A and B are shown apart, each in its own frame.
Chain A
Amino acid sequence: MSSILSKENGNDGNAPKAVDRDPAGAEARGSDFSPRLSFGVPDFLLIIVLVMAGLIPFVFGTLRATKESDFEKVAILTVAGQEVWRCPVGNGSEPSEFTYSSQEGILIVRADKSGAWVAHSDCPDQICVRTGKISRAGQISVCIPFRAVLRIEATNPISDAWIHPDGIDAVSE
């Protein structure tokens, strides 16, 4: 492969082919031995290839974001606004359990590849437990007595294709 900027002169055996095919150019070089930079078709093609290669992450990143199966999510438990536990949710994620203790008692949350849920709470109304498993980005399960919020978030920016089931911003309930 030729270099992008190759030094052209009569002693250079690796002179670009375009120059070799051009006797008029060779004659011109014969009368002018001063070094100069040239730019050949292969160089141009190389630049195009490199530019396109550089765009690959952007192009595939955009495509990825529109595929539902590629959405990676995370379950996050916050208590009084402070994050106390985080667990990936999705294909390949390992089941996980976390127990939070306070003067209210204990709160147990679990997560697996399909979602996260409050498995047990010592709160009186049990609204958090009844909420059951949450799996979509934006969904929450709240335990008021513990001031705890279990939330599913997409770790990648959510697609704005609004019919996408994960592309919600809030739940009216």
Chain B
Amino acid sequence: MKNPAGLQRDRIRKGMAAIVVVAFFLFFPASCSGLKKETDATEAKEEIFAMNTYMRIEVRGREAKEAVNAGVKEIYRLENLLSRSIPESEIFAVNSAAGEEYTTVSAETFQVISISLLYSEMTDGCFDVTVAPLMDLWGFSSGDYRVPNPSEIDDVMSSVGYEMVRIEEDSGRVMLEKKGMSMDLGAVTKGYAGDRVLAVIQQYDIESALINLGGNVTVFGKKKTGAPYHVAIADPENRGEYLGVLAAENQSIVTSGGYERFFESDGKVYIHIMDPETGRPAETDLLSVSVIDADGIKCDILSTALFVMGKDAAIGFWRENPDFGMILSDSSGTLFVSQNIKEEFSVADGKSVVYFE
């Protein structure tokens, strides 16, 4: 028999031991549950070279691998449909029949062309899919860069103009009015591909995705930590740095600028973005334009068009159509950021910024 004090002491000891045991089983499963959560959702990624650029798809979710495979397949399908350099593509067929006859295209190709023409009108021709002959003339298609003389530019300009693209909605037919005309959907296709890849992978059981098609970034959902994806905007003046970082969710972010593809001749820089009005590489007070929206094709087209417009016209366009996010970087190094993304966009240290609305 134990006396009451001994019994009480034993009870205290057992109580303390119980606390230790309970605490152990409380903390240990808690720390493990986090690990389990990470391993529940599988991750898959794939890198490919397509559409003349580098692409990477990362997906997290139970069917991540299947989704990535389907996404890659979709990219190749679109390249074969919309490339102007693949002889089997529908765009190749339309270009080959320029000035001669209509070409019947798929509903999808027809839709991409129609959207492109719509934005050409909206932007007063700053975006134009018929600048392909100019790209050839300046050597941007082949890599054999050269500065053509003015008469050569004038000759080619007669074959440039979105107004000369005829489309028949009822029959799904497309025709370029003049011989020598040519369409290049290069400034549309990656944006459209981002939308399509997202649509395809969403048919699978996935939780989040990061689609990077040559710098055109589309994000879906949040990271496994619950944080949004963080997409940096490249600094056109210092490629190792950023203009800032955007916390993005279910959005596309597309940046256009002349800092990546260009050539120099007699001390002058010629960038790869053509001004359809002058027939020459765009000369603008902007270094880069980033457009943020849920619609990837819109981001792709507008980033090019607004770059060609220049700063004041781009801000004016945004004020008339303020349903997307816009980041401009001008030649003085100042950022102009639309007010509607102020919360999501963190400007890099040392950058001067003006918010507009």
Residues of A near any B CB (own CB < 8 A): 18, 22, 24-25, 27-28, 31-32, 38-40, 44, 47-48, 51, 58, 78, 80-81, 115, 124-125, 127, 130-136, 138-140, 142, 144, 147, 149, 160, 162-163, 165, 167-173
8 examples of A-B residue contacts, CB within 8 angstroms: A18-B9, A127-B260, A127-B261, A140-B54, A170-B232, A171-B242, A172-B255, A173-B233
| B215 CB-CB contact with A under 8 Å | yes
Is B52 interfacial (CB-CB < 8 Å)?
yes
Q: Which residue of B lies closest to A80 (CB)?
A: B49
Within the assembled complex, what's the spacing in Å between the Cα atoms of A144 and B346?
A: 31
Q: Which 9 A-B pairs have the closest CB atoms?
A: A173-B234, A173-B215, A160-B227, A172-B253, A39-B13, A124-B143, A142-B54, A172-B255, A168-B232
Q: Which of A27, A40, A125 contacts B13 (CB 8 A)?
A: A40
CB of B14 within 8 Å of the partner chain: yes
Write the nearest CB–CB distance from B313 to chain A, whole angstroms. Answer: 22
B54 vs chain A, min Cβ distance (A): 4
Whether B234 lies near A172 (C-beta < 8 A) is: yes
Asked if B267 CB lies within 8 Å of chain A CBs, one says no
Chain B, Cβ-Cβ closest to A152: B240
Residue of B212, B232, B346 most packed against chain A (CB within 10 A): B232
Selected from B31, B215, B247, the residue in CB contact (under 8 A) with A171 is B215
Q: How large is the interface on B (under 10, 10 to 19, 20 to 34, 35 or more residues)?
A: 35 or more
Judge whether A133 and B254 touch: CB under 8 Å.
no
Contact between B255 and A132 (Cβ–Cβ < 8 Å)? Answer: no
Which single residue of chain B is at the shortest CB-CB distance from A117? B240
> Contacts A149-B47, A160-B225, A172-B254 hold; do A131 and B245 have CB atoms under 8 A apart?
no
Closest to A48 in B: B20
Measured between beta carbons, the chain A residues less than 8 angstroms from B223 are 160, 169
Q: B230: CB under 8 A from chain A?
A: yes
B231 lies within 8 A of chain A by Cβ: yes
**Across the interface, do B253 and A132 meet the contact criterion of CB distance under 8 Å?**
no
Whether A39 pairs with B14 at a CB distance below 8 angstroms is: yes
| 0/1 interface trace, chain B 211-223, chain A, CB 8 Å (1 if under) | 0100111010001
Q: List chain B residues, Cβ under 8 A from A81.
A: 47-48
Asked if B203 is at the interface of the complex by the 8 Å CB criterion, the answer is: no
List residues of chain A with CB within 8 A of the CB of B16: 39, 44
Whether the pair B229, A170 counts as a contact (CB closer than 8 A) is yes
B231 touches A171 (CB 8 A): yes
Chain A CB within 8 A of B22 CB: no
A134-B245 in contact (CB<8A): no
Nearest A residue to B23 by beta-carbon distance?
A: A51
Distance (whole angstroms) from the CB of A160 to the closest CB of chain B: 4
Question: Which A residues are in CB contact (< 8 Å) with B215?
Answer: 171-173
Q: Is the CB of A139 within 8 A of B230?
A: no
Residues of chain B from 173 to 212 with CB closer than 8 A to chain A in the complex: 210, 212
Determine the residue in chain A with the shortest Cβ distance to B238.
A132
Collect the chain A residues with CB atoms within 8 Å of residue B20's CB: 44, 47-48, 51
Contact A144/B54 with A22-B9, A28-B6, A160-B225 known, Cβ cut-off 8 Å: yes
Are A115 and B13 within 8 A (Cβ)? no
Q: Is B268 engaged at the interface, CB distance under 8 Å to the other chain?
A: no
Task: List the A residue with the shortest CB-CB distance to B225.
Answer: A160
Please name all residues of chain B whose beta carbon is closer than 8 Å to the beta carbon of A127 when the two chains form the complex.
Answer: 260-261
Query: When the two chains form their complex, are residues B261 and A125 in contact, meaning their CB atoms are under 8 A apart?
Result: yes
Contact B6 A25 (CB under 8 A): yes
B239/A144 in contact, CB under 8 A: no
Give CA–CA (A144, B261) in the complex, Å. 12
Q: How far is the CB of B225 from chain A (nearest CB, A)?
A: 5
B265 at the interface (CB under 8 A from A): no
| B210, A169: Cβ atoms closer than 8 Å | yes
Q: Write out, one digit per residue, whether chain B residues 288-324 have a CB within 8 A of any chain A CB (1) or not (0).
A: 0010000000000000000000000000000000000
Q: Is B86 in the interface zone, CB < 8 Å from A?
A: no
Report the Cα distance A28→B253, complex, angstroms: 78
The smallest C-beta distance from A169 to any residue of chain B, in angstroms, reads 5
Nearest-CB residue, chain A, relative to B49: A147
The complex places the Cα of A81 from the Cα of B54 at a distance, in Å, of: 11
